[in-house]
Amino acid sequence: MLDDLANINIGPVKAFNIMQTLYGGFDKVGATKSDCKNYTRKINFKDDTLKGLFWADECAKRNFYVFEDVISFDATYRHNKYNMVFVPFTGIDNHNRNVTLGAALLGDETPETYAWLLRCFKSVFGYEPTVVVTDQDHAMKRAIEDVFPSSRHRLCMWHIMGKLSGKVQTPF
């Protein structure tokens, strides 16, 4: 079925969604790592369970090569039906607009999983970015230090300002 869906240009995420619907659950799809390796850039399986998926298309690669100086990545809490964390990679173009550099679905938020993700990023794009901006997640920080040793890690001002009011009382 994966072959048939790939032949009509349906990517792995949509293919899994279709198969999940047809078979009555993701756990009943029955796909293994070897079944999927030809259809997406990077997939991480453990015990035949999807643990991580990294995606970057040609447009995302072009964006990185042109606007590679600073990237941001941030993990959202498990707000999807698969209970996986969505992690978009974003850059800034010459007009100060966001550009997508890639995206991932992760099974957890451990330093090892983030390290896997950053190794995928480096493998796909060929090199690490100059600056990486994240929130204050310790697992991300450790993974960046391990996988992107020459990148500068900076904290996101939006996250800092959001936490500031709870940490500092104003005199008014």
The pair of three-digit structure tokens given for residue 108, joined into one six-digit string: 């957890």
* pLDDT by residue, tens only, the chain of 172 residues: 666 666 666 766 677 778 778 888 767 776 654 555 444 456 777 777 778 888 888 788 888 888 777 777 877 666 667 778 888 888 888 888 888 888 888 888 889 999 999 999 888 888 888 888 887 777 888 888 898 898 876 666 555 556 666 667 766 6
β-sheet with 70-73: strand ranges across: 42-46, 49-55, 98-106, 85-92, 70-73, 131-134, 152-155
Q: Which domains can be identified in the chain, with CATH numbers?
A: 1-40 (no CATH), 56-166 (3.30.420)
As a dihedral over the C-alpha atoms of residue 68, residue 14, residue 85, residue 91, rounded to 10 degrees, the angle is: 20
The rounded Cα 131 to chain-centroid distance in angstroms is 17
Asked if 122 contacts 100 with a C-beta cutoff of 8 angstroms, the reply is: no
- 3 state SS of 168: coil
- One-letter amino acid of 91: G
Q: Note the pTM of the prediction, 2 decimals.
A: 0.65
Task: Decide: 138 and 132 in contact? Cβ < 8 Å.
Answer: no
- Token pair recorded at residue 90: 């974003």
Closest Cα partner for 5 from 20, 104, 159, 122?
20
Q: Which one-letter amino acid corresponds to residue 38?
A: N
